[in-house]
Amino acid sequence: MAVELHTLPSKCRHRFPIFEKRVYVNSCSQGALSDAVRASYDQYLRDWDEYGAPWEYWTERTEAARSAFAKLINAAPEEIAVTTSLSAGVASLASGLRFAGPRHKVVLTDWEFPTIGQIWHAQESRGARVVHVHEAEDGTLPPKHFRQAVDEETKLVSITHVCFRNGAKVDVKPIVAIAHERGVPVLLDAYQAVGSMPIDVKALGVDFLAAGVLKYLLGSAGLAFLYCRRELWEQAWPTATGWFADKNVFEMDIHDYSPAPDARRFQSGTPPVPSMYAGIAGIELMQEIGIAATQKHVRRLTELLIEGVDELGGTVVTPRNPNERGALVCIKSTDAERLVEDLDREGIVTSSRDGNLRVSLHAYNTPEDVKTVLWELGRKRSLLV
């Protein structure tokens, strides 16, 4: 088992210099910097220096990023908008929906990232009514709660794939089935999932998906995507827009708004060129490492971590069932921020949310990383609950 758990890190860990100095277990915040992503930034600067304004090449890079993400989630490139953050894509979508008429309700969950709650609540000034599906006493989000909340007044169901603060993975398909039975499309926030597990929008049946490259896709800030199923393109008329969302970007027409006929209508201004170099490199590197293999590897490491926390008498708030969790493990703490700082002083990079320590493992992490984290948690036992 130990040998198997070294197969993936032995293929890729040497490409992430941070491991020479630190135990990096914080990919839920940002993936570690690889040689490939660093080289892509150098390339961006070289191209800028050498060609001045190589717009044609940069346009080609936008299309390369669009295609790389499309392939990753089993969509067509025309179904993908290239955005500067997940928030930008979702805000553009929200601006394109009309809440007048019988369907004006947006159903979301208590597990959403703040940006999702904020964007949908912002639509209340445009006539939307926002309803939250709450978790059950056992800490799950049961489909029956969606059966109660989604009805003929519902415009959209907005769910997260893996919760950023407890690591729980939502069972997407039953929720999609409930929504679709009632004629309601589903938006999936897949930021905490993409790159850590295979994602297939067609198999999941979701209508919209938003994600970025900063975390398990090993890119950097500034590049994200919004998937919109082709049948729904025409149903949104974004008012948060810009010239790169126009039907003909270089027509330069200031007398008209004609959104692109496809998902590009959810874009805005100049695409994030430097971030695109990095994003493409990150996505390609994750594909080379293997996302399905990464999911398998991380599941095993995560089991070691959970067992170890149990042995310390700590409390893991992330579900035990591997099918009900992502790559993120959340551990209860009396003072999570202090625990993060204490671990940081020992060279271990983690993060905290909602009173929990967050430890997220990736393809580059080893059983030794887990042991080191557990050893330090043992020394800081008084900060565990």
Ligand X SMILES: Cc1ncc(COP(=O)(O)O)c(C=O)c1O
Residues 256-315 contacting ligand X, CB under 6 A: none
State the minimum distance, in angstroms, from the CB of residue 56 to ligand X.
28
Is residue 189 at the binding interface for ligand X, with CB under 6 A as the rule?
A: yes
Do 315 and 331 form a contact (C-beta atoms < 8 A)? yes
How many Cα atoms sit within 13 Å of 285 on the Cβ side?
A: 32
At 68 the three-state DSSP class reads: helix
Is residue 191 at the binding interface for ligand X, with CB under 6 A as the rule?
A: yes
Considering the complex, state which of residue 83 and residue 294 has its C-beta at the smaller distance from ligand X: 83
> Which two three-digit tokens encode residue 54?
């190589």
State the minimum distance, in angstroms, from the CB of residue 189 to ligand X.
5
The rounded distance, in Å, linking the Cα atoms of 213 and 197 is: 14
Partnered with residue 212 across adjacent β-strands are 224
Is residue 86 at the binding interface for ligand X, with CB under 6 A as the rule?
A: yes
The rounded distance, in Å, linking the Cα atoms of 89 and 93 is: 6
Is residue 220 at the binding interface for ligand X, with CB under 6 A as the rule?
A: no
CA dihedral sign, ordered 112, 117, 123, 124: positive
Binding flags for ligand X, 146-165, as an x/- string (CB under 6 A): --------------x---x-
Is residue 192 at the binding interface for ligand X, with CB under 6 A as the rule?
A: yes
Is residue 212 at the binding interface for ligand X, with CB under 6 A as the rule?
A: yes
State the minimum distance, in angstroms, from the CB of residue 90 to ligand X.
8
Pairing of strands 356-360, 105-109: unpaired
CA neighbor of 195 nearest in space, from 157, 224, 236:
224
The residue whose two tokens read 């897949």 is: 190
Do 78 and 263 form a contact (C-beta atoms < 8 A)? yes
What one-letter code names the amino acid at 100?
Answer: A
Select from 34-42, 150-158, 189-197, 290-298 the region that touches ligand X (CB under 6 A): 189-197
State the minimum distance, in angstroms, from the CB of residue 151 to ligand X.
26
# of chain residues touching ligand X (CB under 6 A): 12
Binding flags for ligand X, 14-53, as an x/- string (CB under 6 A): ----------------------------------------
Is residue 115 at the binding interface for ligand X, with CB under 6 A as the rule?
A: yes
Residues lying near ligand X in the complex (CB under 6 A) are found at: 85-87, 113, 115, 160, 164, 189, 191-192, 212, 224
